[in-house]
Amino acid sequence: MNIKYIIRGLKLVCDCYPKGFVLKMLYVFIQSMLPLVSLLVLKQLVDSVTAASGSFATFTGWVLAFCGVWLAGRWVGVLSGVNNDIMSQRLIDHISEKIQHQAYELDMAYYDNPQYHDTFHRAQQEATSRPIQLYNTLMGTIGSAVALIGIVFVLANTAWWIILLMLVAVVPSFIVKSNKARTIYRFRKSNTQNYRKTNYYSTLLSNRIYAKEMRTFGLAGLFRERFVTTRKQLVDVLLKISKRLAHYDAMCAFIEVFALGLITLYLAKGTIEGVFTVGVFVMAFEAFRKGEGYLHGVVDGITGLYESRLFLTNIFDFLELKPRIVSPENPEPFPQEVEKIEFVDVTFRYPDMRHDVLENFNFAAEKGNITLIEGRNGYGKTTMLKLLLRLYDVNGGAIKINGIDIRKFDPIVLRKHVGAIFQDYVQFNCTLRENIEFGDLYSSEKTEARMLNAARLSGVDEIAERLPQGYDTLLGRIFDGGEELSMGQWQRVALARQLYSEAPILVFDEPTAWMDIETRRKLENTLEELKTKHLIILIKHI
């Protein structure tokens, strides 16, 4: 078994809660030793009852000892449970943060790749549960192994062949369970897109974004049927796998019960003939039963580690993806004043597409003008904005700012200096103030005057006057107390966010699609006011 991913998974758990990691090992060691102590005390307890010379005081002492061992086990179990809860919650936060950070760091080109979405889906499915499951499985396996060593010591003093019989009886079950883990992993991996489809259908049926069209066109029945059909196909195959392997697992039980019967008869015969005391009979019988259970624990643990190792590859396959658009080693400083943007013989196509969106494309925009780009749908207008922001890199040619290829800038710095409003802008269900200040959230110059100026230029000040808490009103209807806006009002909020950035380059991608005539006139006046300080590009459809 390749343990690389197991070690990495354990490191994730340790990193999120080092103290809990160590405490878990301590609790497991104590819990694994208590059964052996309990068996030894049980032998003495039974012998004190059956011995002719036994006293009540001796019997009482062993009863108290037996109860003490049981109580210690309960207390350690409680402490271990609390520790597990803390570790689980911390790990969920830790892994979720890593997944979210990785998804943000990767280039937009990944989002155009179905294989990326498969990898992301598998990582999400395993992220919050698999590492802690791995750790618990490992600790359980170690605990079972330590307890088993004690059991072996007890049984070795009775008859060594009992140990061999116990091992042989469990081998078939180990083979069946290992095969089940491998088969289910392969099935789930090969059906990732079907699992993603069920998530997509569920989103269509339950998400507010799609609610209007789902009802208008009566699509709920169609997508509900697709969800049910796809889920049924997946579940049917999983159940067939489970039933087939359960049949073999049930057959393994005959081997184990045969071994149990054989050992019981051997111990009973020895006790009747006086070879063993009643205490030895009880201890050895319980030792074999518990030993078989601990051996199953080791088998299940090894199988679980193997399964976890398979599924952990899903997490690390995603975390190992590397962004292709990165900052150069020695990035050029961004110009203090932007005078000109040029697209020089730019050629670009989206990943896995058969045709170029832009081919040998040339374009220039200068500060002091409102440079207009007009074209039909699909002519690459929005693509130009994405390329300018380096959300994608060109396949040929270059984009230059003041004559400097934008690939020489740090992408984060570049994007900070390009204020953009997309035609598919985001409606953040946050306060109006936050929606505006997201345009430059981490600026050291966040002032009320700056926010109010962006609101004035975009016409959002008029919207704020009609909201119950003004700029502190929660927008959207997802959360309690939220106020919904019209599409035109949301577009003005997105415009205010762009203007709040005060970036030297401002690109407007179809900014008036939802605006009325009066609001469009205000925007035209705003652009005239801004063009002396900013390089402005206005994208329109024809």
Q: Tens digits of per-residue pLDDT, 493-511?
A: 999 999 998 899 999 888 8
For residues 405-416, average pLDDT: 93
> CA–CA separation, 146 vs 36, rounded Å?
10
> Could you say which DSSP state residue 428 is in?
-
Question: Model confidence at 404, in pLDDT bands (50, 70, 90)?
Answer: very high
* One-character DSSP codes across 473-537: PBBSSSSTT-B---HHHHHHHHHHHHHHT--SEEEEESTTTT--HHHHHHHHHHHHHHTTTSEEE
Q: Which residue type occupies 289? A: R
pTM of the entire predicted model = 0.71
**pLDDT above 70 (res 128):** no
Q: Kindly state the tokens that stand for 513.
A: 């699609």
**pLDDT above 70 (res 355):** yes
Q: Please count the helices (runs of H) and the strands (runs of E) in the chain.
A: 18, 8
**pLDDT above 80 (res 27):** yes
**pLDDT above 90 (res 401):** yes
Task: Tell me if residue 217 falls in helix, strand or coil.
Answer: coil
Taking alpha carbons only, the member of 35, 254, 66, 308 closest to residue 151 is 35
Length reported for the chain: 542
**pLDDT above 60 (res 53):** no
Sheet containing 370-375: order of strands: 370-375, 535-541, 505-509, 418-421
Q: Tens digits of per-residue pLDDT, 289-322?
A: 777 777 777 777 777 777 777 667 777 888 888 8
Is residue 392 within 8 Å of residue 428, measured between CB atoms? Answer: no
For residues 518-541, average pLDDT: 86
For residues 480-492, average pLDDT: 90
**pLDDT above 70 (res 285):** yes
> Over the chain, what is the mean pLDDT?
83
> CA–CA separation, 508 vs 6, rounded Å?
49
